[in-house]
Structure 1
Amino acid sequence: MAFLQGPSPKQEEMIRQELNEMPGDVERGIRDLRSMCAANPYLPNPESLDSRLLLLFLRGCRMDFERARKKLETFCYSRSRYRDLFEHRSLIEPPLNDVCKFLDIVPLPKVTDEGLRVTIFRMRPNYPESSSDIAATARAILLISDARMHDETLIAGDAFVWECTHVRASLATRVAMAAGAVRRSIHLAQAAYPQRMRRIHVVGAPALIASSINLMRSCVNEKIRKRYYLHSKTEELLDHFPSRVLPVEWGGDEESIDVLAKKWRRRVEELREYLRNLNELCDVTPGDVYHDDIYGAVGCFRKLDID
């Protein structure tokens, strides 16, 4: 059962203004995206695309129809171009079930006063060394992102919180060895997903993973690099987020991270058919997508093609 909550009526009005959403824009935008799909034989049948999915792309691009077309096309093409990133669609079956022993991936139910959706990435204490597979972790994060798209409401943007208190020195080596997978996943998230990244908070990161943080920062544009915040302890997050949003172990009023992580694992299982259908959006990527700038997709793929 979906448990993401939306904004209040007052917040809705504020968010629509921030997203430049005017009366009639939603209907026109959805028609525009469906027309693009109808005109391109490599894209899905426009009637097979849920209006809620299309609306996410419109709002994630602040109702800029051209940007929304580019993102949607890249999102569809990526399912064919990078099948390995999307081949596993469960968090309770191998191999991604092991990732859950290493990292909790938890979009929080309530939005902030600004209308932001906060997602927690918490490295678990005493995680088995074998569970910290970076490539598998990237796949698990994309899987949760896909599931969240099904349930997401009207939001103003995203805030990510990486809690790294329990990280080990060996993780820096693992990240360095999987640098290609890290870059590819981050570039894909920027190029193909309808996110508006507003802030990234890193908590309790020891100096030994400075190189890993620098790698992640190098994969994003200058605007997002300036939105990184470093904290020594989770209590400092209360200066940035209301307590009603944060989990109880961080001084908030929300359910614990463990409880929410279990809910998300169950939710992914409930959405398994939907998640598999997403993988079938685009079976074949046109060969000239790597040579012709079709809605900008080629630029995204050039950045991604680094392994």
Structure 2
Amino acid sequence: MAFLEGPSPKQAEMIKSELGEGPEELEKGVRDLRSMCAANPYLPQPEVLDINLLESFLRGCRMDFERARKKLETFFYARSRFRDIFEHRSLTEPPLNEVCKFLDIVPLPKLTDEGLRVTIFRVRPNYPENAADIAAAVRAILLISDVRMHDETLIAGDVFVWEASHVRASIAARVAAAAGMVRRSIHLAQAAYPQRMRRIHVVGASTLVASSLQLMRSCVNEKVRKRYYLHSKTEELLDYFPARVLPVEWGGEEESIEILTKKWRRRVDEVRDYLRYLNELCDVTPDTSFDNDIYGAVGSFRKLDID
């Protein structure tokens, strides 16, 4: 059962006002996206599209219909183009169960006062070296993102917290070896997922991970680069988030990261049908002009602005 909590009535009103969302705008946007798909033989037929999926793209683009159309189109084409990123759909079965020994991926249940969803990425202490598979970590992160599209409610945006205190020197070489996958996934998140990235907090980042952090920053636009916050310890996060949101080991009131991580692994398996639906939905063949426009001559995404 999904355990992401939605906004309070007051928060929902605030978020809708910020997004410029009204009942008519949302309904019109859904019709607009369905019409786009109906007119394009390479996209899914409108009758098979989940309304929650369409509403997520509209809200993630602040009700900008043209931008939502482009992002949704990119979502379908990119998933078809890069099937390898989406080929494993479980965190409790091989091969992605191994990466769970290296990285915890935990969207927190409660929203902040501003209506933001906080997601923790924690490098686990004493992780086995062979579990630090960066390509597998990318697949796991995007897998959780897909489940969130199924479960997520109305939110004002996303905040990511990377806890990197236990990263070893060897991780820099692993990230460098998987640089293509890392860049591709970051651009994919910007260009093809309905998220509004508000802040990125990095905790315990030593000089060992400086190069890896620089790689991530180089893949996002200038607006997002200014939203990076560095902290020496997790206790500093209480200056940015209410205690009720953060896990207990970080001085908060929420369940521990360990408990929440196990819940998310189970949740992924609970929505297998939806994940299969997404893969089948994106079983399309990109036309050449679109492929060249989005990926360019060297196979990289063009830079897109995000809120």
Are residues 137 and 246 of structure 1, via their aligned partners in 2, closer, same or farther at CA, if it must alter by over 3 Å? same
Q: Distance in 2 between matches of 1:192 and 1:110?
A: 25
Question: Which residue in 1 is equivalent to 2:27?
Answer: 27
Within a 5 Å distance, the mapping from 1:134-149 to structure 2 comes to: 134-149=134-149
Query: Number of residues paired by the alignment?
Result: 301
Question: 1:146: how far off?
Answer: 0.2
Contact 2:200 2:229 in 1 (8 A): yes
Report the 3-state secondary structure (helix = DSSP H, G, I; strand = E; otherwise coil) of the residue aligned with 1:195: coil
- What is residue 231 of structure 1 aligned with on the other side? 231
Alignment match, 2:111: 111
Correspondence for 1:157: 157
Q: Per-residue displacement from partner, 1:103-144 (whole Å, max 9, x unpaired)?
A: 000000000000000000000000000000101100000000
Who is 2:73 aligned against? 73
* 3-state DSSP of counterpart to 1:199: strand
Secondary structure of the corresponding residue to residue 162 of structure 2? strand
1:62-115 deviation line (CA, Å, top 9, x unaligned): 000000001101111112100000000000111100110000000000000000
Which amino acid in structure 1 is aligned with residue 80 of structure 2? Answer: S
Query: Cα 1:241–1:299, aligned 2, differ >3 Å: closer, same or farther?
Result: farther
Aligned counterpart, 1:168: 168
Preserved CA contact (<8 Å) 1:74 1:300: no
Distance in 1 (CA, whole Å) between partners of 2:267 and 2:23 is 33
**1:1-25 Cα distance to aligned partner (Å, 9 max, x none):** 0000001111011101111113411
* Correspondence list, 1:181-260, <5 A: 181-260=181-260
Inter-partner Cα distance in structure 1 for 2:137 and 2:298: 21
Tell me the C-alpha RMSD between the 2 structures: 1.4
Is 1:160–1:201's contact at 8 Å kept on the other side of the alignment? yes
Other structure's SS at 1:194 match: coil
TM-score (norm 1): 0.96
User: 1:45 offset after TM fit, Å?
Assistant: 1.2
> Which of structure 1's runs of 4+ aligned residues deviate more than 2 A?
297-305
TM-score normalized by structure 2? 0.96
Rounded Cα–Cα distance in structure 1 between residues aligned with 2:54 and 2:135: 28
| Aligned partner letter, 1:101 | K
Q: What percentage of aligned pairs have identical amino acids?
A: 77
Q: Deviations over 1:245-302 (max 9, x none)?
A: 00000000100000000000000000111101101123222222124x5xxx456995
| Separation in structure 2 between the aligned mates of residue 7 and residue 34 of structure 1, nearest angstrom | 27
Letter in 2 for 1:102: F
CA distance in 1, matches of 2:80, 2:160: 28
